[in-house]
A and B are shown apart, each in its own frame.
Chain A
Amino acid sequence: MVRQYVEKPNVRFIRLNSKNTIKDFTCGDSDLDDFIRNRASEFQKHLLSVSYACADADTGKMLAYCSLANDKVAVGDFKDKTEFNRFRKKQGFPNEKRLKSYPAVKLCRLGVDESAKGRQIGTTVLDYIKSMFVFENKTGCRFLTVDAYLKAVPFYEKNGFRFMNIEDDDPHTRLMYFDLMDLVA
């Protein structure tokens, strides 16, 4: 368990900078591996996301990583997207009565290395992110959003995430969200 690691304390959680890249990481998903190996530093450099790594304190081996970016959830007082687009074309951007948005943070990527699977590291990192945006956040943030891989959907459901759309037929992912107000209820 990751707790045992921390208590020893054998785990370190690090904010990566744009110069740090990780080559020795395999979580079994080529997209997630590719992102941390080749792309995370560019995203960081252009201030598009911030990546954090969970590493073994003794060896420096990366056990997990996650990337975060600002997001928002917007809700429109329209029947559907067509009506929204028609309105926008005719009258410009809708006023706040017809379009409300709520601040959110997007969990862009979350991957756990093959060598660390089954140690609850994913849940531990997710618990930290949730709590961080309630206790330490310097700006308002109501939701945690994620574009979850189909095989990761049960993991997010187990961790309290809900589906954003009733009908989401994307072949690879599902859009989900977590209401941080559930933690302060």
Chain B
Amino acid sequence: MLPGFTSLVILHSYYIVTYMKKIKDIAMARPIRETPILFGEDARRFLAAMEERRPEPPEVRTRRLRNYEFMKKAYELGMAEKRAREEANGGIDPWFDNT
């Protein structure tokens, strides 16, 4: 009787702890603020900034375009290899914790 009761209490505690952890997880992430509608001075400033062009300095442009090409290549390779891994593992990519 007592061991059965004890295991019931342990099991119950386990579920409570798991549940609390889940609640904590859900409450953890802070929501991302929505982009607001701009009014008044904010709107005036925003519209003025839209008219104003701020071209990138040449060295920043060069870096950005180089990074773009690198990442584009990394994306093409990455997706091709991902598809290959999934095909080889019955639709599962072992790089990830597949749910």
Q: Is the CB of A166 within 8 A of B55?
A: no
Q: Is the CB of B74 within 8 A of A11?
A: yes
Contact with B along A1-43 (1 / 0, CB 8 A): 0110011010111111001111100000011001100110100
**Which A residues are CB-close (under 8 A) to B33?**
147, 170, 173, 175
Q: Is A115 an interface residue (CB 8 A)?
A: no
Q: How far is the CB of B64 from chain A (nearest CB, A)?
A: 4
* Complex Cα gap A78–B44 (Å): 10
**Which B residues are CB-close (under 8 A) to A162?**
49
Q: Is B12 an interface residue (CB 8 A)?
A: no
16 additional contacts, CB 8 Å, given A2-B70, A80-B40, A179-B54? A2-B67, A3-B70, A6-B70, A14-B78, A31-B30, A39-B29, A57-B78, A83-B39, A106-B32, A124-B71, A128-B68, A164-B42, A166-B41, A173-B33, A177-B35, A182-B54
Can you report 29 A-B residue pairs in the complex whose CB atoms are below 8 A from each other? A6-B70, A12-B75, A20-B93, A21-B96, A22-B97, A30-B28, A31-B30, A55-B95, A57-B77, A74-B35, A74-B38, A76-B37, A80-B39, A80-B40, A104-B35, A127-B64, A127-B67, A128-B75, A131-B64, A131-B68, A147-B33, A162-B49, A165-B36, A170-B33, A177-B35, A179-B54, A182-B55, A185-B53, A185-B55
Binding site for B on A (CB under 8 A): 2-3, 6-7, 9, 11-16, 19-23, 30-31, 34-35, 38-39, 41, 54-55, 57, 60, 71-81, 83-84, 99, 104, 106, 108-109, 123-125, 127-128, 130-132, 135, 145, 147, 160, 162, 164-166, 170, 172-173, 175, 177, 179, 181-183, 185
